[in-house]
Amino acid sequence: MRCTVFGTGYLGATHAACMAELGHDVVGVDVDPGKVAKLADGVVPFYEPGLEEVLQRNLAAGRLRFTTDYSDAAAHADVHFLGVGTPQKKGEYGADLKYVHAVVDTLAPMLERPAMIVGKSTVPVGTAAALGVRARERAKVDVEVAWNPEFLREGFAVQDTLRPDRLVLGLDHGRERSAWVQEHIREIYADLIAAEIPFLLTDLATAELVKVSANAFLATKISFINAVSEVCEATGADVTMLADALGYDARIGRRFLNAGLGFGGGCLPKDIRAFMARSGELGADHAVAFLREVDNINMRRRTKVVDMAARACGGSLLGANVAVLGAAFKPESDDVRDSPALNVAGMIQLHGAVVTVYDPKAVENSRRVFPTLNYATSVSEACDRADVVLVLTEWNEFTALTPTDLDPVVRSRSIIDGRNCLDSTAWRAAGWVYAGLGTP
């Protein structure tokens, strides 16, 4: 089928390339000419394992192209995926829908035949229905709006698009053409449905709530184990062993029960805040009041690590050399949006330390956010004459480190494991002062 994808950031570029991989004729649309030019040349403007190969393969096959021309896109297809960002509003918790509205306002008047706009972006509940009204007010033809939320994990985005654990489609069941929308979406995802990927058909509001509810649940699970880690620190218990024991309970599971520095990135933090804001608008803020503490626990982990670094340096960070290993919010990504690692590095610098950061993929993005930090090109360079080493993103390169790797370069053999990803026994046996989160 022919389809378009509006927005070529992390979500949109991945969706466009993967829809072409499924055999569809795809046009990716963006208002940023530089981004469009890069993608058209087969260059992904962010790091995502495996995506560049998919992009280049489908460009070469002629199934994928990119443009800034909305009229070209409007004429190309009847199915228009909406994959633009919905960032947190400045100074507020709510989601900023200006990019979503801009696409609808520009595209709708250009449509010359009945079409559908299928949302992928994470939006506050009620947005899809409002967009349907907005689109039909501006269009000369019939326009349907449906919602097909994404569930991508950075580092696994290609896999999660081509073999998701479920497909969710929200329809406006009050519209006569909802069956037409479902038929087209089923055709687009025919290969996935044939592979027995569960296909869940819902109303618009349910589809919108599925994604934000999933993120809120995961954030709650992460903050729960981090809250327990604070109790472990007060009692001498080991949160890692405790999580292992909890994980054997099939009702709980072990995934996302890793105590440490907490979550970040472009989704979980802003999505749970937008969920709280929208719930308040609906008069249901009491129902998600617990998410405020989830957010607070998560942010508290960052100041905890700063305090640990100060203790490791004798009580003050003023003039200390601090090595920070990791800047991306998670491994296999160059995304530094709301990154706990980079946030900690910045706070430590504000306390008077000389901070040197190394990350395998995220240095350039980090430099744009925190240009005053020092950046290294290797672990050994970052740790040169360090008074304390902080491991804040669990890249394989860091989890594989041994004391002998760092012994020749550091000034003090002190390490803070912000992700509880190192072998504490081995580091202590080698004469290092090791400190983890929630571990004795």
User: Catalytic amino acids?
Assistant: 267
C-beta of residue 388 within 8 angstroms of C-beta of residue 415:
yes
The DSSP symbol for 83 reads -
What separation in angstroms does the CA of 304 have from each of 296, 322, 347, 386?
12, 16, 11, 20
d(CA 25, CA 111): 18
- Which residues in 132-235 belong to E strands, given as ranges? 143-147, 167-171, 199-203
Sign of the CA dihedral with 35 first, then 41, 42, and 43 last = negative
Is 230 buried (19+), middle (13-18) or exposed (0-12) by CB count in 10 A? Answer: middle
Q: Which residues contact 25 (CB under 8 A, 6 or more apart)?
A: 1, 2, 3, 63, 76, 77
Q: What count of other Cβ atoms lies within 10 Å of the Cβ of residue 191?
A: 13
Q: What count of other Cβ atoms lies within 10 Å of the Cβ of residue 81?
A: 27
Q: What count of other Cβ atoms lies within 10 Å of the Cβ of residue 364?
A: 12
- Read off the tokens for 97: 């829908």
C-beta of residue 361 within 8 angstroms of C-beta of residue 388:
no
- Read off the tokens for 163: 């073999």
C-beta of residue 340 within 8 angstroms of C-beta of residue 302:
yes
Q: What SS3 state is found at 390? A: strand
Amino acid identity of residue 160, one-letter, is D
